Amino acid sequence: MSPTPVNATNPPNIIALIVAAGRGRRAGGGIPKQYRMLDGQMILARAIHAFKDHPAIRSICVVIHPDDNDLYDQAVTGLQILPPVYGGATRQESVKNGLEALVAHNPDMVLIHDAARCFLSASLLDRIIAATDHEVGAIPALAVTDTLKRAENGLVTATVSRDKLWRAQTPQAFPYKAILDAHRKAGSRELTDDAAVAEAAGLAVRIVEGDAENIKLTMAEDFKESTGSGQALEPRTGSGFDVHRFEPGDHVWLCGIRIPHESGLKGHSDADVGLHALTDAILGALADGDIGTHFPPSDPKWRGASSDRFLAHAGELVRKTGGQITHCDVTLICERPRIGTHKQAMRDRIAAILGLNVARVSVKATTTEQLGFTGREEGIAAQATATLLLPAPKDQ
């Protein structure tokens, strides 16, 4: 039976189930590997973003260890996904717990993925989804190219043919009801992956081309060798500046936080000078125009828009290059409202929008000593800088 293509007019309900309940002791470090930082972002967060950025994925659910609630909350800050599910004593039991939790959501297809594989590409997800239908599962795999040896007591006993041998990866996709039934039937038998569970239940599994960059972070050296993009990264810095005048109102939006004030700020969107300046700083580091290029004020659909959409878009552009935001700094310039009591909330909000550790976000405020338009309280200004690590241009 040929794969069933995704129907754009009536798309299937596809849910990603990310397994993140392991301890990851072989990777070293003081916390489970899925919560370690890699290029400024938690590994689990990177895996979630890969699915969240794909248009065919309807929902995401993560299976976690009961001891990891606080770490999980940090990883998913600002992300709207399904509530987490507690795992079991084995990976197989954790997957089953996750599948059982999805019954109420009635997915057509489920993609089961290991959190430690955080370098997913959209093209790999495309291939897996296209190869899965209501009767057949699909897994990504790479053909074995090394010579294989069988050994006993440290001595080679045979050379094993590598013909028809494949190295399986995740995510592994299956028709939901079929893989749930397969896990229920598996019982206490320990099978090596979900494809093995499917095979044991008689479900056909199709192989699609895997991705060499879709590695699983397992040992400590994996973290040292991986950059997350497979390319050398170079630092870039961008700057942004924005101004909005006051108008009648009862609040202002600054760095994503609503602050009561006797005036509002005039603008086509919500006039958040802090997020506008930071968005321009990121776009500047990318050398990709400015906020007006991506969100023209002449377009009525951006009237009154929340500026977190602009900043999230800029952050997504960085991720699509294979780069990372390593630091951002915003300075608000005004006499009033007072910013001091709101600075931590602003840092938290920016970190959530961009998927960063809050330690990589700075928000400051200053006045112009009652000089100029800000000193006369005619409006608010903001300036921002953003530091990125980006793949070097291909012409170098």
Residue 68, helix vs strand vs coil = helix
DSSP string, 109-169: EEEEEETT-----HHHHHHHHHH--SSEEEEEEEE--S-EEEEETTEEEEEEP-TT-EEE-
C-alpha 224: how far from its chain's center?
A: 21
- Record the pTM: 0.59
Which amino acid type is present at position 185? K
Per-residue pLDDT in tens (0 to 9) along the chain, 396 residues: 344 444 556 789 999 999 999 876 554 456 788 988 776 678 999 999 999 989 999 999 999 999 999 889 888 988 899 999 999 999 999 999 999 999 999 999 999 999 999 999 999 999 999 999 999 999 999 999 889 999 999 999 999 999 999 999 999 999 999 999 999 999 888 898 999 999 999 999 999 999 988 998 866 555 554 544 445 578 999 999 999 999 999 999 999 999 999 998 998 889 999 999 999 999 999 999 999 999 988 888 888 889 999 999 999 898 888 788 989 999 999 999 999 999 999 999 999 898 888 888 999 999 999 999 999 999 999 999 999 988 877 654
Q: How many CB atoms lie within 10 A of CB 183?
A: 25
pLDDT number for residue 1: 36
Residue 28, helix vs strand vs coil = coil
Which pairing describes strands 166-168 and 136-143: parallel, antiparallel, or unpaired? antiparallel
Nearest CA-CA partner of 313 in 343, 286, 348: 286
Alpha helices in 11-90 (DSSP H): 43-52, 69-75
Please identify which residue in the block is written with the tokens 């200004």. Answer: 381
Residues 6+ apart with CB under 8 A from 311: 256, 275, 278, 279, 282, 350, 353, 354
pLDDT number for residue 4: 44
